[in-house]
Amino acid sequence: MMLELHEPVVALMRQVGRDIVMPRYQNLSSDEVSEKAANDFVTIADKESELRLAEGLAAILPEAGVIGEEACAVDPAILDRAGQGLNWIIDPIDGTGNFAAGKAPFGIMVALVDGGTTLAGWILDPLTGRLCHAMLGGGSHIDGERVQARESGGDLPIAALAVYFMPEEERADIQRRSHGSFTLVDIPRCAAEQYPRLVLGQNDVSVFARTLPWDHAAGTLFVNEAGGCCQRTDGTPYIVGDLRRGLMGASSPRLWDRAAATLFG
């Protein structure tokens, strides 16, 4: 079933990127951007993208429910279904803060989950057209080519630590522990970009505090199917519907173990 779904899902995502997202890029009026919470933006393009994706995905696989980021912002109870049954998970524009500011990166993310297990995930960069996708047991691909995660090869592992959602004390502890053990780089504030970086040898380690499914269902599968390692900071698997905090990805299991011992040991 997953192979049959791939082409229509990709076609839908590319259409949404072309017809809805990109026409609004660097072309938003002030009344088309608002804050759902402090530093958590939503634009008219997010809303229109989600509506079109939800409609299209429901037509592709009618038996699956649909859980979108913006729908959950309006009705948080929708998120309660995330770990129950077959569902599409939609992030209509990941990296909305970047998109609203008229800069890269940002992306469209879609995943198909059954219970807590991600069966397939797709990550589209509408600016470059790059498409990352993975299927459970079927490997990871970028623009149709199978990929294997690779380490950066630097003297120290390259780490992008998304600590801004952590409590101040926890954030300070992570920063203290990381000193001298990693080469720290800025985060892109966009999971749709961060996960590919772990596979492409650009970053070795990424830590995330919040673990909402639209941000992470597709990306965790993509990294794991590429031979990297993405799991909870306590070493347990990432399960959709489990809203505990804390998630770490690495370009290899070896680096994941090393980072876990350094940052959380």
Would you list which residues are annotated within the binding site for Mg(2+)? Answer: 69, 91, 93-94, 215
170 phi, psi to nearest 5 deg: -65, -40
Distance CA 127, CA 168 (A): 35
The count of other CB atoms within 10 Å of the CB of residue 70 is 21
For 224, the enclosing helix (H) or strand (E) is helix 213-225
The per-residue b/e assignment along 219-243, b for 16 or more CB within 10 angstroms, e otherwise, is bbbbbbbbbbbbbbbeeeebbbbee
Candidates 16, 39, 41; CA nearest to 30 is 41
Those residues with Cβ within 8 angstroms of residue 71's Cβ, 6 or more apart along the chain or in another chain: 50, 54, 78
CA 67 – CA 79 distance, rounded (Å):
7
| Contact by Cβ (8 Å): 109, 192 | yes
Are 110 and 132 in contact by the 8 Å Cβ rule? The answer is no
**Residues 44/24, Cβ–Cβ less than 8 Å:** yes
Could you list the residues known to form a binding site, using ranges: 69, 91, 93-94, 215
